[in-house]
Amino acid sequence: MGKYMEIPEGENAIREFYEIAFGPHRHYSHQGWLSGRVTTDDNFTFYNPPALDELVHDVPEGDFIARKSNMYYVSIDLSGKLGWKSHTLTYEETTAEVIEVLGTQSSPAYRAFLRKLGISYLIAGDENGLNYELLLTKLKTLFDIDMLMLGGGGVLNWSFIQAG
């Protein structure tokens, strides 16, 4: 994000990035990309609040797998704040199925909101943070994701590096 995206050189760089990462002859064979909540809000949910029904309390515990796909967008949103409108998103010409990564502190109302939209979610963290190993294991076993592009902001990228 930033003003550099509005200049011709920035626009060219954005197009080059897309071709390398997502184009028909892309360089990587990833099955999706992962970003944090702020990057997701900046680019896809635009800080819209989720439409929650606070009276919902009987949401099943654990993960929810709505459907499988060839391309996924994985969003780290441990507290459950993103206001999705659909179970898919489109980035340029790439459509991806959304997977939310929640923590145990996410509310039943938020999990019900995701289920209503048909958005898969994984519980892979708690109030202390993301459990990286658990998340990557679940993405592999439940969604057959062998390679995931880390596309989030600096805080999320650095946290993956620190976790090893």
Question: pLDDT tens-digit profile of 68-113?
Answer: 999 999 999 999 999 999 999 999 999 999 999 999 999 999 999 9
Overall domain count for the chain: 2
Q: Are residues 146 and 125 in the same domain?
A: yes
Does 67 score more than 70 pLDDT? yes
Predicted pLDDT of residue 156 = 72
Q: Are residues 10 and 68 in the same domain?
A: no
Q: Are residues 10 and 88 in the same domain?
A: no
Q: Can you give the length of the chain in residues? A: 164
pTM recorded for the entire structure = 0.92
Q: Are residues 71 and 114 in the same domain?
A: yes
Q: Which residues fall within 8 angstroms of residue 44, CB to CB, at 6 or more apart?
A: 73, 89
What's the CATH number where 47 sits?
A: 3.40.430.10
| Segments forming the whole domain that contains residue 1 | 1-27
Q: Are residues 7 and 40 in the same domain?
A: no
Q: Are residues 139 and 92 in the same domain?
A: yes
Q: Are residues 85 and 8 in the same domain?
A: no
Predicted pLDDT of residue 106 = 97
Sorting pLDDT into bands at 50, 70 and 90, what band is 144?
A: very high
Q: Are residues 89 and 120 in the same domain?
A: yes
